[in-house]
Structure 1
């Protein structure tokens, strides 16, 4: 159980679901351990949040456990999406713990938002990778089948074709050196529904080395927290993905902190 997720399922405002998919990782596998690592390294955090004057245990968070993954990624994504759609229909906010970034695709489809905001080192705008349309390198491209707009914060690498796709009107890329300016003057989402996805590799690997495809030149934990605080109030869904067990807990600890930050700031504006 995620620490502090003490609400009953029927009364929950937020439902945590682990999605330990580890099928298409292209460099260092281990995302199957991500949900448990995040839960483990969140144990030390205080219940009280000084910034919002709230207690995590009073915000209606329920941990529904993991949806066990299997090898057929498309079939698993379809099943996971059904589980998350049930949460949405119950008027709760789904919070997905990855697992590889592929799990974001069914989550976005279940929430059906207007805008997809993603913190990520990679553009993930490929139509396929090594012949696999369900690769984690395709997730933002898949999200664009559902949403009207994608905003990618912290991206610093991609293929030539991906950068060409990113230049189109429905994609905004905010590279690392422009993130502070974006945070100082973020878009007004208004009545738009937003889904926020955090790929832990958006952080510089010096802060979060426990991830599959490290890319130097990334964001600081403070920038990631600020981004989550900025976007959370407009969100109807959230995930944090690509954490593995290949460090001493730095990536998982940051992921757990960002999950809590999302809940605190979303609840404060609800």
Structure 2
């Protein structure tokens, strides 16, 4: 199944979409292995034309490279996924990714090497480990900030090289977070983390006009950032979240400054609401990025 409107061949693509159906550490309700194709399915009804940007999605040179099948060895899978995404970056294309659990975002960050990670999420995801696993989806933002190696020790913001070390981000902005452990909130108090409460996300997006200066960003859309009334098909629902319009405004603001985008944590536990929203937000990111790139 191909993402609707993805028409470009691999060599001529400006955007390369990859599915990452990882479902190894999901908590409460699993099913993210079905996320990539579920998003593709429920995006099929969307019109090709976007009036706001006066553009057709099918003209934006998006290539759907299919899925990178997951396996249980998380370190190995993330290494392989990173290499697949990095190939798009080397070809001057923007990597797009459909999850899969949120852990896959660390592969996207490793591949695109942004300065800043912006994530729409109900959770801080700043745990150093969850159930003893530093690669649990509840730890992904911490990994993007502080790194990790196969021995379990944190890397110290080391640039990528041939030794298996990978770049980390200098700053994280978490939009819509409303829950976390005491240790996560303590980590969030550090200068390299900004947490924007759900009630403040719209104002943040409207004031976000200059981007991050000369720094690149990576945007991760965890669908549980939405209130579960809008997107119940996710593993760890958290009430009092964002509306689809609030998420859209944030995506439109951040996407023009991005070197990579993903949409994650969609599962098969609803009638398609979460997948439909994820697909729409991913398209909004592409429309916004392409429009800015053309100006």
Provide the TM-score with structure 2 as the length reference. 0.91
* Inter-partner Cα distance in structure 2 for 1:234 and 1:264: 13
Which of the residues 169, 179, 187 maps onto 1:147?
A: 169
2:48 is matched with: 47
Alignment of 1:50-69 (within 5 A): 50-69=51-70
2:133 is matched with: 132
Q: Is the CA contact 2:205–2:250 (under 8 Å) kept in the aligned structure 1? A: yes
Alignment root-mean-square deviation, CA: 0.7
Paired positions, count: 270
- How far is the alpha carbon of 1:184 from its aligned partner? 2.3
Segment of structure 1 superposing worse, 195-204 or 139-148:
139-148
Gaps spanning 5+ residues in structure 1: where? none
Which of the residues 207, 213, 224 maps onto 1:201?
A: 224
Q: Runs of 4+ in structure 1 displaced over 4 angstroms?
A: none
Gaps spanning 5+ residues in structure 2: where? 147-167
CA-to-aligned-CA distance 1:23-66 (integer Å, 9 cap, x gap): 00011000000000000000000000000000000000000000
1:175 is matched with: 197
1:228 is matched with: 251
- How far is the alpha carbon of 1:241 from its aligned partner? 0.1
The answer to whether 1:27 aligns with 2:37 is no
Q: Is the CA contact 2:211–2:254 (under 8 Å) kept in the aligned structure 1? A: no
Alignment of 1:87-98 (within 5 A): 87-98=88-99
1:265 is matched with: 288
* Inter-partner Cα distance in structure 2 for 1:80 and 1:173: 28
CA-to-aligned-CA distance 1:142-196 (integer Å, 9 cap, x gap): 1113011000000000000000000000000001111122122126312111000
What secondary structure sits across from 2:262 in the alignment?
A: strand
What secondary structure sits across from 1:77 in the alignment?
A: helix
- How far is the alpha carbon of 1:74 from its aligned partner? 1.2
* Inter-partner Cα distance in structure 1 for 2:273 and 2:109: 27
What secondary structure sits across from 1:9 in the alignment?
A: coil
1:73 is matched with: 74
Alignment of 1:112-127 (within 5 A): 112-127=113-128
Which of the residues 249, 256, 264 maps onto 1:241?
A: 264
What secondary structure sits across from 2:11 in the alignment?
A: helix
CA-to-aligned-CA distance 1:47-91 (integer Å, 9 cap, x gap): 000000000000000000000000111110011001111110000
* Inter-partner Cα distance in structure 1 for 2:86 and 2:15: 13
